[in-house]
Amino acid sequence: MNEIQRLRAAVSPLLAWYNQNKRTLPWRGAFDPYRVWVSEIMLQQTRVEAVKEYYLRFMARFPTAKALAEADVEEVLKAWEGLGYYSRARNLHKAAQIIAEHGFPNTFEGVRALPGVGDYTAGAICSIAYSLPCPAVDGNVLRVLTRLLASGENIDAPETKANFASRLREVYPAEAGDFCQALMELGAIVCVPNGAPLCGECPWQNLCLARESETQENYPVRAEKRARKIERKKALVLFYGEEFALVKREDKGLLAGMWQFPFIEDGAENYGEVVVEKRAKHIFTHVEWHMTGYLVRAREKFPQFVWASAEKIAESYAIPSAFKVFLPWITRKVN
Ligand code: SF4
């Protein structure tokens, strides 16, 4: 059996398994491209369990692309607060302006041209919303497929996704949406990334070459990971009366346009009396922040900062998760 024959043989057992075993998720059964799009963007880099509640709240607040387009970007960022990778929210808002004006695109190229949509997301939206044979290949799908085929292709090489997408295109069934979701589901609950895959529950147990040779955990093959860069930061939680100092991050790069407690280069005591300090670490994809936070009673209301009460911050300022560790200070002003 060659690779294409093996993939073709894998389609029906996978679909049958998916029908029996798929999880009930709030976005499942949605064929409205807007809903599929929002769920797929939220699911990038974020666990299903974490997304569920955000998705329901987001849909209640922005039920259509028009509602999203008309909202203020700060409000969208606030609704996204805690999900991370905030450029996704900015791009959703930007793309909603296009969709509100021209309608949701209904071709792969049209969907792919929306801000923030890559090959994977465009493939998922087209498969699920329009039943088009557009493969969506991410790390999860690559893991499952490299195991099925015992393929030693390096999944970090730029061409690998395209190679698997073109093989999948050859075997795509009419149930495009189910097939696309079934691949993801298998990777999420059976052919799992951490620990041993649950081969005994897998619809491919008689087809899978990695299982046959008992080499499941050798796949996927990855390039060596580069170490994350460590950045040391001093974060100032500065209060004056009932108000706290905030600054807005630059409009590009990490956490673009989000609000944060100011980072300082000089000593915290230059701003007033240090009440307490605390160390914290936050891990991004390529960078680690090793932070020391200082709660400081300001000796004056420094004009370079924006000042807001704890209530106002909770209501209107989107603060990224990296700073959540210091938030108890602003509600209680102690650790
Ligand atoms: S048989 Fe095991 S290794 Fe192969 S696809 Fe299924 S869960 Fe993954």
Q: Does residue 224 lie in a domain region?
A: no
40 flagged as catalytic: yes
> In this predicted structure, what is the pLDDT of residue 334?
44
Give SS3 for 191.
coil
Distance CA 20, CA 44 (A): 25
- pLDDT tens by residue, the chain, 335 residues: 899 999 999 999 999 999 999 999 999 887 899 999 999 999 988 889 999 999 999 999 999 999 999 999 999 999 999 898 889 999 999 999 999 999 999 999 999 999 999 999 999 999 999 999 999 999 999 999 999 999 999 998 889 999 999 999 999 999 999 999 999 999 999 999 988 999 999 999 999 999 998 888 889 988 777 788 999 999 999 999 999 999 999 878 888 889 999 999 999 999 999 999 999 999 988 899 999 999 999 999 999 999 999 999 999 999 999 999 999 999 875 43
Residue 209 sits in the same domain as residue 239: no
Domain boundary among the residues 193, 218, 243 is at 218
Domain count, the chain: 2
* Ligand 1 binding pocket mutation candidate from 7, 147, 207 (most atoms within 8 A of CB): 147
Asked if residue 142 has its Cβ within 6 Å of ligand 1, the reply is: no
Domain boundary among the residues 218, 243, 265 is at 218
Closest ligand 1 atom to 144 CA:
5
> In this predicted structure, what is the pLDDT of residue 114?
97
Q: Which domain holds residue 261?
A: 229-332
The answer to whether 99 and 106 have CB atoms below 8 angstroms apart is no
Q: Nearest C-alpha to atom 4 of ligand 1 is from which residue? A: 208
Both structure tokens of 94: 């930007």
Domain boundary among the residues 163, 197, 218 is at 218
Distance CA 42, CA 40 (A): 5
> In this predicted structure, what is the pLDDT of residue 286?
86
Residue with tokens 């300090």: 277
> In this predicted structure, what is the pLDDT of residue 333?
53
Q: How far is CA 23 from CA 49, 182, 291, in A?
A: 11, 10, 39
Distance CA 288, CA 242 (A): 31
Closest ligand 1 atom to 216 CA:
3
d(CA 142, ligand 1 centre) in Å: 12
Residue 236 sits in the same domain as residue 207: no
Residue 29 sits in the same domain as residue 162: yes
Distance CA 111, CA 190 (A): 30
Give the residue among 309, 156, 291 at the shortest CA–CA distance from 221.
156
Residue 39 sits in the same domain as residue 176: yes
Contacts of 304 (CB under 8 A, 6+ apart): 247
Both structure tokens of 54: 């955000």
Residue 249 sits in the same domain as residue 323: yes
Residue 194 sits in the same domain as residue 258: no
